[in-house]
């Protein structure tokens, strides 16, 4: 699900990027914020960071005496994506194994549909393995599959969610 979120971060600006006119300072803060936003993949509470929408406030900077860097509190709005239990989503088949199907759903790269949750489908092995049912419906690599989110797991070391679900 897509969420609008308001976040507050601290942006650190080095002394060489400080400018007394203020215009270059604001530009430096925004560029640094965008760099940090791009490098932060996701959090457990907010999901995957997709896009920054508006900059609400740049607070008063505080000088760090040891380095001379200035720390600015910043408040902004952004768009995030977080999968929730019960949600119906679409994913692209990335990999097919005997025990199920791995999908990619937007920024979520680890969605697993277990063969146990696809009782009508049979595994067909070969060079390009597929799952097929009696109505000739086929799940193959590159195909799009609708699924229901049964559960999610946050993996802190990877900064990503794992999703489990059946075909919808």
Residues near 12 by beta carbon (within 8 Å), at least 6 away in sequence? 32, 64, 69, 70, 71, 72
Tens digits of residue pLDDT in 96-106: 999 999 999 99
Tens digits of residue pLDDT in 68-115: 899 999 999 999 999 999 999 999 999 999 999 999 999 999 999 999
pLDDT of residue 25: 82
Tens digits of residue pLDDT in 3-54: 999 999 999 998 887 776 666 888 889 999 999 999 999 999 999 999 999 9
123 C-beta neighbours (distance < 10 Å), count: 17
Reading the block at residue 45, the tokens are 């509470």
Strand order of the β-sheet with 100-105 is: 144-148, 88-97, 100-105, 108-114, 160-164, 151-155
Q: What's the CA gap between 130 and 98, in Å, rounded?
A: 9
Greatest CA separation for the chain: 72
pLDDT value at 136 more than 90: no
pTM strictly above 0.95: no
Beta strands in 1-159 (DSSP E): 2-13, 42-43, 47-58, 62-63, 70-81, 88-97, 100-105, 108-114, 121-124, 130-133, 138-139, 144-148, 151-155
Reading the block at residue 88, the tokens are 């119906």
Reading the block at residue 58, the tokens are 């740049």
pLDDT of residue 16: 80
Number of C-alpha atoms within 13 angstroms, CB side, residue 10?
Answer: 9
pLDDT of residue 24: 80
């Amino acid at each position: 699900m897509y969420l609008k979120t308001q976040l507050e971060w601290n942006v650190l600006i080095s002394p060489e990027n400080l400018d007394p006119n203020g215009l270059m300072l604001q530009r430096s803060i925004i560029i640094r914020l965008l760099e940090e936003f791009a490098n932060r993949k996701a959090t457990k509470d907010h999901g995957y960071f997709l896009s920054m929408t508006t900059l609400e406030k740049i607070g008063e900077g505080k000088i760090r005496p040891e380095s001379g860097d200035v720390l600015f509190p910043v408040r902004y709005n952004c768009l995030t994506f977080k999968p929730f239990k019960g949600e119906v989503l679409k994913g692209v088949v990335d990999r097919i194994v005997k025990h199920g199907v791995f999908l990619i759903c937007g920024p979520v790269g680890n969605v697993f549909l277990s063969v146990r949750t696809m009782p009508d489908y049979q595994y067909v092995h070969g060079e390009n393995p597929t799952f097929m049912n009696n109505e000739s419906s086929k799940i193959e690599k590159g195909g799009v599959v609708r699924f229901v989110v049964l559960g999610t797991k946050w993996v802190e070391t990877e900064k990503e969610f794992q999703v489990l679900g059946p075909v919808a």
